[in-house]
Amino acid sequence: MRFDVLGPLKVTTDDGVGVAVPEPKVRALLACLLVHHGRPVAVDRLIDDLWGDGPLPGNPVNALQTKVSQLRGTLDKAEPGARTLVVYGPAGYTLRVPDEAVDAARFAALATTARATSETRAKVKLLAEALGLWRGEAYADFRDARFVTADAVRLEEQRLTAIEELAELRLELGEHAA
């Protein structure tokens, strides 16, 4: 499965088929797990992030478990076995996917590789590829959610840095029009 956050939240199977995650709280749960990509998120933190300042459900832990079950079911329906991507451990819930499965991680890897490359044209190609992953503002459909703010700002700063670096490299190459 692939998870894209460099724009509105988007999920696709390995075959490129779009996966609908229709329920708002389930989408928010997935976004929160992606913000903490690869790290566990405590149950209390997830409850706070999902219900925020609104009224809590009668049994918040049970309500969260229901949302996790719905997310697992959605992923598994799209790609059998994908329910195991959402794991629970002593520290909370984790979305366990490789870096290549998340566009934000691919963006960072491409930008890092570009900076380590000595050949200017190769740098341009890598930075252009990295910037090509962007489809809008990071976490565009969750911009008002507090739990994405820091990550969205960090990603936007990285994007601006990559744009500036690409512009400087193109000027070096005499590609002023680009």
* 133 shares a domain with 69: no
* 75 shares a domain with 8: yes
Give the integer Cα–Cα distance in Å for 112 and 137. 21
* 123 shares a domain with 82: no
Structural domain containing residue 63: 2-98
Read off the pTM. Answer: 0.93
Stretch 86-100: mean pLDDT: 96
Point out the domain boundary residue: 61, 81, 98: 98
1-30 pLDDT, tens per residue? 999 999 999 999 999 999 999 899 999 999
Beta bridge partners of 94: 87
Q: What is residue 51's predicted lDDT score, i.e. its pLDDT?
A: 92
- The answer as to whether 177 is a domain residue is no
- Rounded percentage of the chain residues whose pLDDT exceeds 90: 90
Burial of 2 (0-12, 13-18, 19+ CB in 10 A): middle
Q: What is residue 56's predicted lDDT score, i.e. its pLDDT?
A: 81
How many CB atoms sit inside 10 A of residue 163's CB?
A: 13
* 116 shares a domain with 88: no
52: CATH: 1.10.10.10
Stretch 116-133: mean pLDDT: 97
In the chain, DSSP assigns E strands to 2-4, 10-12, 86-89, 92-95
Phi-psi region of 71 (alpha: psi -120 to 50; beta: other; left: phi over 0): alpha
- The answer as to whether 140 is a domain residue is yes
Per the structure, the count of domains in the chain is 2
* 90 shares a domain with 165: no
